[in-house]
């Protein structure tokens, strides 16, 4: 039996953040992980997907130059080299951002193996024949891709995002079930690298949690690029025979058959809460298997906290890292912090990207706010003109009267870089005049935020370059 100040179950972003916060307070920590160090993001999520997206975008730009006078070549795809380069980056970041980090914190002990909770006061966790004991436990076991119970699906070799980001071959055709961030990001990268991709979404629009204008705009751009986008699709069955997938569905009120070499199911994720002893010791969980926590990330049992995707809340790596630090702070009595995601920025890494923060049109109605909205097409942003890429817009949601900015929604190649200005504006209740009074460097995409704010009171087409507010 080995004693610690804190046990952390899970070696991903949330687990590392929790362990580091405890180590900084000179607490002795055991971090228990039965899988690959680093969790989802670095191994099978953000890092591999974003580097493959960057590779796909590079090829697409070469095939479709936006500037006259350019004759680009070298657009053939050596798939094994592309994937090998991706794998090398994953391994390098796993080493640098996780394995090497442990050396800087001698208070953290890495325990390889599957941990099972046995008691809760004190907390005991068994790992093989070893028993670890501490006053507090933080569960940070992450989540896994989830597939709906479609008839026939379980009997086929379908892909989740994990397999799609590790495929040894580039399929000629790819079907994607799910039109949210993961499905669209992976679908577009495969389209740009040479596959013919068709996306099937059950709801009436893609990225359905985003502003309606955003959904419509992104769908238009993806279709222009050649992706098949079908919404309102009810999947009836899936079959696999002779190396081909067949999906029977109802679409537009009529029966349709979709076929492809590969099938990606991107219909969300579910928390990893089975087989860790959580139910046996009485930790409350919701209908999707997520651990129920309060705003201080404490579970129904006072000695157990949870952080990251295992709680089912805002499954983003940057939220998981913050949550891990907050959970450790509260579990060890180092402070009293809450997790507040009301001004959380979100990014979908398609091209153009989608980014949002705060309220949508529909959200203002639910919040009882009287708001007005204005969308500025990127054709009015000088940098977009210089880039020869005016796809997209910047939309501000503003409270009537106070002119307080309560939401921002962006469709743009650099939307993820632009959105942080909106995050600050929403979090600190900035008004239109607060934004227009700031200096924005000329010939930057973020200058579009100021122009969007000016649009509420002026016609920006009548302003000169670098015009004041």
> Distance between alpha carbon 190 and the CA centroid of its chain, in Å?
18
Mean of pLDDT over the chain: 96
In a domain, 115, yes or no: yes
Domain annotation covers residue 338 = no
CATH number, domain with residue 247: 3.50.50.60
Does the residue 336 lie in any domain?
A: no
Instruction: Provide the whole-model pTM.
Output: 0.96
Both 192 and 95 in a single domain?
Answer: no
The answer on 159 and 119 residing in a single domain is: no
User: Is 309 flagged in the annotation as binding?
Assistant: yes
Is the same domain home to 135 and 274?
yes
Instruction: Specify whether 257 is located in the same domain as 374.
Output: no
Instruction: State in Å, rounded, how far the first CA of the chain is from the last one.
Output: 68
* Residue 228 is labelled as binding a ligand: no
18, 62: one domain: yes
Which of 234, 267, 300 is the endpoint of a domain? 267
Residues 131-155 as b/e (b if ≥16 CB within 10 A, e otherwise) read ebbbbbbbbbbbbebebeebebbee
Residues 275 and 355 reside in one and the same domain = no
What would the pLDDT profile of 282-309 be if each residue is shown by its tens digit?
Answer: 999 999 999 999 999 999 999 999 999 9
- pLDDT bin (cut points 50, 70, 90) of residue 453 is very high
Does residue 337 sit within a domain?
A: no
* Residue with more model confidence, 449 or 465: 449
Does 183 show up as a binding residue in the annotation? yes
Shared domain check, 170 and 255: yes
The residue-averaged pLDDT of 169-184 equals: 98
Q: For residue 463, name the pLDDT band (cuts at 50, 70, 90).
A: confident
CATH at residue 374: 3.30.390.30
* Element housing 145 (H / E): strand 143-145
Q: Confirm whether 340 is domain-assigned.
A: no
Whether 452 is covered by a domain: the verdict is yes
**6-9 and 29-33: which strand pairing?**
parallel
> Which pLDDT belongs to residue 358?
98
The confidence score (pLDDT) of residue 72 equals: 78
- Assess whether pLDDT exceeds 80 at residue 73: no
Task: Provide the pLDDT confidence category of residue 467 given band limits of 50, 70 and 90.
Answer: low
Specify whether the CB–CB gap between 134 and 5 falls below 8 A: yes
Residue 439 has pLDDT above 90, yes or no: yes
If asked whether residues 358 and 448 sit together in one domain, one would say yes
Do both 170 and 296 map to the same domain?
Answer: no
Q: Is 268 annotated as a binding residue?
A: yes
Q: Residue 252 above 90 pLDDT?
A: no
Cα separation, 54 vs 42, in Å, equals 16
Spatial separation of the C-alpha atoms in residues 403 and 287, rounded to whole Å: 40
pLDDT at residue 237 in the model: 98
Residue where one domain finishes, among candidates 222, 246, 267: 267
- Please give the pLDDT value at position 299: 98
Q: Is residue 262 in some structural domain?
A: yes
- Tens digits of per-residue pLDDT, 141-155? 999 999 999 999 999
Question: 184 labelled as ligand-binding?
Answer: yes
Determine the 3-state secondary structure of 387 from DSSP. Answer: coil
Radius of gyration for the alpha carbons in the chain, expressed in angstroms and rounded: 24
Assign 253 a pLDDT band (cuts: 50, 70, 90): confident
- The verdict on 80 and 219 lying in the same domain is no
pLDDT at residue 335 in the model: 98
**Separation between Cα atoms, residue 230 and residue 200, nearest integer Å:** 5
User: Is 201 known to sit in a ligand binding site?
Assistant: yes
Give the pair of three-digit tokens for residue 369: 């706010």
Report pLDDT digits (tens) over 180-232. 999 999 999 999 999 999 999 999 999 999 999 999 999 999 999 999 999 99
Question: Is 139 in the same domain as 241?
Answer: no
In this predicted model, what pLDDT tens digit does every residue of 30-70 receive, in sequence order? 999 999 999 999 999 999 999 999 999 999 999 999 999 98
* 185 annotated as belonging to a binding site for a ligand: yes
The pLDDT of residue 465: 79
Please tell me whether 180 is known to bind a ligand.
yes
User: 380 pLDDT band (50/70/90 cuts)?
Assistant: very high
Q: How many percent of the chain have pLDDT more than 90?
A: 94
In a domain, 468, yes or no: no
Residue 159 belongs to what domain range? Answer: 153-267
Same domain membership, residue 274 and residue 261: no
Residue among 428, 425, 417 nearest 450 (CA): 425
Distant-in-sequence, close-in-space partners of 424: CB < 8 Å, separation ≥ 6: 430
- Where is the domain boundary, 267, 288, 318? 267
Task: Give me the number of domains the chain comprises.
Answer: 3
């Amino acid at each position: 039996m080995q004693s610690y100040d804190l046990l952390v179950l899970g070696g991903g972003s949330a687990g590392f953040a929790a362990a580091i916060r405890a180590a900084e307070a000179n607490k002795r920590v055991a971090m228990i992980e039965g899988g690959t160090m680093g969790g989802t993001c670095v191994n099978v999520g953000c890092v591999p997907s974003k580097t493959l997206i960057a590779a796909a975008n590079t090829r697409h730009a070469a095939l479709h130059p936006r500037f006259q006078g350019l004759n680009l070549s070298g657009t053939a795809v050596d798939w094994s080299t592309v994937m090998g380069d991706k794998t090398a980056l994953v391994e390098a970041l796993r080493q640098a951002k996780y394995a090497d980090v442990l050396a800087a914190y001698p208070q953290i002990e890495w325990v390889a193996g599957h941990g099972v909770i046995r008691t809760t006061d004190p907390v005991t966790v068994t790992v093989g024949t070893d028993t670890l004991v501490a006053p507090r436990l933080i569960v940070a076991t992450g989540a896994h891709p989830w597939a709906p119970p479609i008839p026939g699906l379980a009997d086929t070799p379908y892909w989740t995002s994990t397999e799609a980001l590790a495929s040894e071959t580039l399929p000629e055709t790819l079907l994607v079930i799910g039109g949210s961030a993961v499905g669209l990001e992976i679908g577009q990268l495969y389209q740009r690298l040479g596959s013919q991709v068709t996306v099937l979404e059950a709801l009436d629009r893609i990225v359905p949690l985003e502003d309606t204008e955003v959904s419509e705009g992104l769908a238009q751009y993806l279709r222009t690029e050649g992706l098949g986008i079908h919404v309102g699709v009810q999947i009836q069955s899936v079959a696999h025979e002779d190396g081909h997938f067949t999906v029977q569905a109802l679409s537009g009120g009529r029966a349709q058959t979709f076929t492809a070499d590969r099938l990606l199911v991107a219909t969300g994720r579910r928390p990893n809460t089975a087989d860790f002893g959580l139910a046996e010791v009485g930790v409350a969980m919701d209908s999707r298997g997520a651990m129920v926590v309060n705003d201080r990330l404490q579970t129904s049992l006072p000695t157990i906290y949870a952080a990251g995707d295992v709680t089912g809340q805002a499954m983003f790596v940057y939220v998981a890292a913050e949550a891990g630090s907050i959970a450790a702070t509260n579990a060890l009595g180092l402070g009293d912090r809450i997790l507040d995601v009301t001004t959380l920025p979100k990014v979908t890494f398609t091209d153009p990207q989608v980014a949002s923060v705060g309220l949508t049109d529909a959200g203002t109605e639910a919040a009882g706010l009287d708001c007005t909205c204005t969308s500025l097409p990127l054709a009015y942003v000088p940098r977009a003109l210089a880039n020869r890429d005016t796809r997209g817009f910047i939309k501000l949601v503003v409270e009537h009267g106070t002119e307080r900015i309560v939401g921002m929604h962006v469709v743009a190649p650099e939307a993820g870089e632009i959105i942080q200005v909106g995050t600050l504006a929403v979090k600190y209740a900035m008004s239109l005049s607060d934004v227009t009074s700031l200096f924005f460097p000329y010939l930057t995409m973020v200058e579009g935020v100021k122009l969007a704010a000016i649009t509420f009171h002026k016609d920006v087409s009548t302003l000169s370059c670098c015009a004041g507010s």
